[in-house]
Amino acid sequence: MRRNFEHFESMKKLFWHLRLLIVRKRFREIRWSFITLKLSDYFGLAKWILFRMIGLSRDDQVVKFETKISQALGVENVVSFSGGRVAFRAILQAMNVGPGDEVIVPGYTCVVVPYAVIHLGAKPVYVDVGDDYLIDIEELKAAINNNTKVIVTQHTYGYQDRVDEIISIARTRGIRVIEDSAHAIGKWPDGSAPGLNSDAAFFSFENSKPLTSFWGGAVATNNPEIANSVNQIKKQAPTHSLFAEILIANHVLLASILYHPNIVGLGRYIFAILLRLGILNHSISESDEKGFEPKNPIRRLSNPQAYLLLRQIDRIGEIESRRRKAVNAYSELFGLENPDIPLLRFPILTRDKQKLVVQFAKQQIELGQWFQAPLHPESSDFDAAGYRWGSCPNAENIAKLCINLPTSINGSDLDHVLKLAERYIKV
């Protein structure tokens, strides 16, 4: 019965989107995916993989990427993986997290974070967040006990968490600190960077993150012991064959083209069909949502993905400038304090959440809904993740009210969003 209901709901949603496709008020869509990539990146990747096939390109893009991002952050060691969750697991393994250990995580996060803890036999302990979307310091102090081995602090939406304060709390108890920097990359206004002062940080390069290669992740650390252990863990994973690199490159190219804002919305339906056929994959699979441990938990970043990330690092200043401009404009519009940070998404709390999602969709704008539940996505198995409803009331309330405005836009796209935001959004 439940399966039939879900099928009905998905069909209803599909017809609603098709109606929007036909009766559209604007040609170009404003979307979240692949927004840091340019057309020249796709052509460059196609050319690079062709040269790779005929033996004219043998350079290791992954090593180049790790070196370049290490220099950009000012962190001694960067080790790449196939995803942020893989990078996080590698850090936990390097810290010997296992049965009997507790890992404190924000009660407002992606479900793959607590699952990584559970897969190693440890227990995630959820701590509520404050009104600033960041982990509540007093709640954090109360959650620490003799079994606490790690605290995970999260730079939600790109807001800088109170890392130094959390480190000072942790150090007195011999507790490790990991930064979840899936929403942020680059240096903070105070000159620090993820992984610079904490034990380690991890990044995600999924298709809607600060830099994207469709999948991908990395560990950043100044701790030589952790760096060495993480590198040894990475070496356990097989390298990518040329054939695998070609498949990955084609996958990334196809997915990014289908998500391009000028494909008039048709791409999402082709993408959905290809997902059903198993030709493309979601960044979070059904097994991820349900908490199943992957068969091969440690996988490497590929050369084609590293190639795309290298090109984006070269223009990270341009990307951050665009985001900062949008953040400044939104802050002024809503009369909010300007954080002067290039946020990945600009969060707003509103009681008209679902109504606004529909109104903006009619104007070809995809409003973000991170997070619709304390664990994202909301279809996740909360019992399997060890989350007890009511344990993080502020996070649960924020999830009901929060929408996100895009920041990686400028020009007419930004003007269009600002005009609609002024008209419809009340904060």
Backbone conformation region of residue 311, classed left if phi is above 0, alpha if psi is from -120 to 50, else beta: alpha
pLDDT higher than 90, residue 86: yes
If one compares 58 and 359, the residue with the highest pLDDT of the two is 359
- On whether residue 18 sits in a domain, the answer given is no
- The mean pLDDT of 75-95, rounded to a whole number, is 98
Given a cut of 70, is residue 74 above it in pLDDT?
yes
DSSP H helical ranges for 30-78: 39-53, 61-73
Q: Is the pLDDT of residue 418 over 50?
A: yes
Q: State pLDDT tens for residues 26-66.
A: 556 788 788 899 889 999 999 999 998 888 777 899 999 99
Q: Are residues 164 and 96 located together in one domain of the fold?
A: yes
Q: Is residue 17, in this structure, part of any structural domain at all?
A: no
| Residue 216 pLDDT class (50, 70, 90 cuts) | very high
Nearest residue to 336 (alpha-carbon basis) of 350, 357, 355: 350
- pLDDT tens, residue by residue, 173-186: 999 999 999 999 99
Q: What is the pLDDT of residue 4?
A: 52
Instruction: Give the HSE-up count for residue 415: Cα atoms under 13 Å, Cβ half-sphere.
Output: 2
% pLDDT > 90, the chain: 70
The whole-angstrom separation of Cα 65 and Cα 283 is: 21
pLDDT at position 255: 80
Q: Which domain CATH number covers 211? A: 3.40.640.10
Residue 76 has pLDDT above 60, yes or no: yes
- 132-171: per-residue pLDDT in tens? 999 999 999 999 999 999 999 999 999 999 999 999 999 9
* Token pair recorded at residue 296: 């091969």
Query: Are 29 and 100 members of one domain?
Result: no
Rg (alpha carbons) of the chain, rounded to whole number: 21
Q: Are residues 60 and 177 in the same domain?
A: yes
In this structure, are 27 and 47 located in the same domain? no
- What token pair was written down for 348? 């707003």
Rounded to an integer, what distance in angstroms lies between the CA atom of residue 41 and that of residue 180? 27
Q: How many whole angstroms separate alpha carbon 163 and alpha carbon 157?
A: 15
The reply to whether 321 and 231 lie within a common domain is: no
Average confidence (pLDDT) over 7-23: 53
* Choice between 79 and 263, residue whose per-residue pLDDT is larger: 79
Question: Is the domain of 53 the same as that of 160?
Answer: yes
Maximum Cα–Cα distance across the chain: 61
User: In a 3-state reduction of DSSP, which class is residue 176?
Assistant: strand
Residues 154 and 45 in one domain: yes
Looking at the fold, whether 332 and 191 belong to one and the same domain comes out as no
Q: Which residue has the higher pLDDT, 94 or 275?
A: 94
Q: Would the pLDDT of 18 be above 50?
A: yes
**Whether the model pTM is above 0.85:** yes
Is residue 23 predicted with pLDDT exceeding 50? no
Determine which of 35-49, 291-305, 338-352, 386-400 has the lowest per-residue pLDDT on average. Answer: 291-305
Tell me, what's the pLDDT at 2?
47
Cis peptide before 304 (omega within 30 of 0): no
Pair 142, 93 in one domain: yes
Structural domain contains residue 397: yes
Domain assignment present for 6: no
Please tell me the predicted confidence (pLDDT) of residue 408: 92
Provide the domain limits for residue 82: 41-235
The answer on 71 and 27 residing in a single domain is: no
225 lies in the same domain as 76: yes
Tell me if 309 is assigned to some domain.
Answer: no
Position 235 confidence tier, pLDDT thresholds 50, 70, 90:
very high
Segment 103-112 mean pLDDT: 98
Q: How confident is the model at residue 254 (pLDDT cuts 50, 70, 90)?
A: confident
Structural domain includes residue 387: yes
Q: Are 107 and 93 contacting, i.e. CB atoms less than 8 angstroms apart?
A: no
- Domain membership flag for residue 299: no
Of 212, 235, 258, the one marking the end of a domain is 235
In a domain, 271, yes or no: no
Together in a domain, 27 and 88: no
pLDDT band at 334 (very low <50, low <70, confident <90, very high): very high
Of 235, 262, 279, which residue sits at a domain end?
A: 235
Q: Between 380 and 279, where is the model more confident?
A: 380
Domain count, the chain: 2
Residue 10 has pLDDT above 80, yes or no: no
Last-in-domain residue among 207, 235, 263: 235
Proportion of the chain above pLDDT 70, given as a percent: 87
CATH of the domain at 381: 3.90.1150.10
Instruction: Look at residue 262 and tell me whether its pLDDT is greater than 90.
Output: no
| Position 80 pLDDT exceeds 60 | yes
pLDDT score recorded for residue 319: 95
Q: Give the chain's mean pLDDT.
A: 89
Confidence category of residue 296, pLDDT binned at 50, 70, 90: confident
Quick check: 421 and 333 in contact, CB under 8 A? Answer: yes
